[in-house]
Structure 1
Amino acid sequence: MKRLRALDTCAVSDALDRHGRTGVVHGLRPLAADRPLAGRAVTVLLGPPPAQHAGSPQRHLGTAAVDASGPDDVVVVAHQGRIDCAGWGGLLSRAAAIRGVEGVVVDGAARDLSEASEVGLPVFARAATPVTARGRAVELAWGEPVEIAGIPVAPGDLVLADAGGVVVVPAGQAQDVLATAERIVATEAAMATAIQAGTPVSSVMGKTYEELTDGNR
């Protein structure tokens, strides 16, 4: 994870462009413990309770994934963008923090965000809500491929989230995408140095900059 943590979402997004991949999850923002997170995805799929469902679910949503997670893991909750009820809450945040989980990404709403901040667990989600999932959403599966905001996420995929947004890198392409992102970072660092030294930005951000994400290079 050291290489991933050294990058930002903008560089990784550019690298995904270079490799012809989509991986930017639109609409999510940091809502608790405002710091970057980087790790491997542990997935959770939520959905409405089945019509024939009677009584309470066997276990509370997200608990199995948290119990199976630890350092370098990011819990990714596919909540279908729902903001009418929370797909993540305070007790889950406390349990995840105790296990050393890197953070949480929710394609939907989350609640009890002050608790997540208190235990230092980053939570990226669409919105905050006080509305419980009880009676409104249940866990359909965990540890299986899911989709968040149209982006597929499989267990073990790399997830990076910061002030710029959230990106997902397929595990099978991680080495190539990270290497490209590192080259982009190095190129842009040299450009920043040139600007700081007084070189006109029109010269610095010329053809070379425009070709940073050109997959034909």
Structure 2
Amino acid sequence: MTTPPASSPACPSAPAGAWPPGYRIGPAAPRLPAALIEAFRAIPVAVAGDCMGRSVGAIGLHGYHEDLAAVLCGPAVTVRVRPGDNLMIHKALMLVQPGDVLVIDGAGDLTQALMGGLMRTTCLVRQLGGLVIDGAVRDRLEWAEGGLPVFARGHTHRGPAKEGPGEINVPIACAGLSVLPGDLVLGDADGVIAIPAAEAELVLERARLHLDKEARIRATNLAGTSDPERFDALLRAKGLPV
């Protein structure tokens, strides 16, 4: 079986048909402008979700960094692995750039941890922007030390295998969240969302307008001057005589 050559550590490639079944390393996605990524740090996940139809985002993940104020924000490097196996996660950590967010499709399996404290050390050295794992972690106390936002499905003491297969920089589904390589991944105390790279500027514009609107509503709520017609009109439209 042919071993796929790599054109460079940052952007490996292989001739058509050269990858063994179940293995693939796609090219690194173009990076969003640094200023755009930084601007999203001021956007709550709930607001971004409101601006994307209120029907997208990961489901069932928990923050293991235990810092409610921590914000995960960066371009996605995607990984798909066999449940309980982290061989290709180790390879992905060789390819990431500072600020990248590793998004891992582990099929939601909780029988074996995909990452633990030793890999956390590697993530810190590589200056990873964060982790989103549809699977389990272990060594909870080390993740709780902070310095790296990590969202995972759950935890277990049982360690992973390193046999493969797996894929890097391919489209994945992670806890109900569709993610393409290079998408902007945003996470906070409310959850995790992925913003398609091509829509990031538009979502940022909408989110800023949404925050302005919320500020006006909050001010009227605090002053006790909110307009009851805002909801009465909705109720009348549904047939309730108010």
TM range (shorter): 0.7 to 0.9
Where 1:196 maps in the other structure, the secondary structure is helix
Question: Aligned residue for 2:71?
Answer: 36
Query: Percent identity of the aligned residues?
Result: 34
In the superposition, relative to structure 1, how do residues 202 and 132 fare at CA in structure 2: closer, same or farther (>3 Å)? Answer: farther
Pair 1:10 & 2:46 matched: yes
Asked if 2 retains the 8 angstrom alpha-carbon contact of 1:41 and 1:73, the reply is yes
Pair 1:148 & 2:174 matched: yes
Q: Residue 168 of structure 1: which of 180, 188, 194 is its match?
A: 194
Aligned residues: 196
Which amino acid counterpart does residue 47 of structure 1 have in structure 2?
Answer: R
For 1:65 and 1:208, the matched residues in 2 are separated by 53
Instruction: Give the TM-score normalised by structure 1.
Output: 0.80
Single out whichever of 3-12 and 194-203 deviates more from structure 2. Answer: 194-203
Asked if 1 retains the 8 angstrom alpha-carbon contact of 2:61 and 2:175, the reply is no
Question: Aligned residue for 1:53?
Answer: none
The RMSD of aligned alpha carbons is 2.5
**Mapping 1:81-92, distance limit 5 Å:** 81-92=108-119
**Mapping 1:110-189, distance limit 5 Å:** 110-118=137-145, 120-134=147-161, 138-189=164-215
In the superposition, relative to structure 1, how do residues 48 and 128 fare at CA in structure 2: closer, same or farther (>3 Å)? Answer: closer
Using the TM superposition, give the Cα deviation of residue 67 of structure 1 relative to its aligned residue in structure 2, in angstroms: 2.1
Structure with the bigger RCO (C-alpha within 8 Å, sep 6+) is 1
For 1:72 and 1:11, the matched residues in 2 are separated by 22
For 2:83 and 2:152, the matched residues in 1 are separated by 19
For 1:112 and 1:151, the matched residues in 2 are separated by 25
Unaligned runs of 5+ in 2: 1-36, 235-242
**Mapping 1:68-87, distance limit 5 Å:** 68-87=95-114
For 1:208 and 1:45, the matched residues in 2 are separated by 48
Using the TM superposition, give the Cα deviation of residue 71 of structure 1 relative to its aligned residue in structure 2, in angstroms: 2.8
Displacement over 3 Å in runs of 4+: 200-203, 205-209
Unaligned runs of 5+ in 1: 50-56, 210-217
For 1:98 and 1:177, the matched residues in 2 are separated by 31
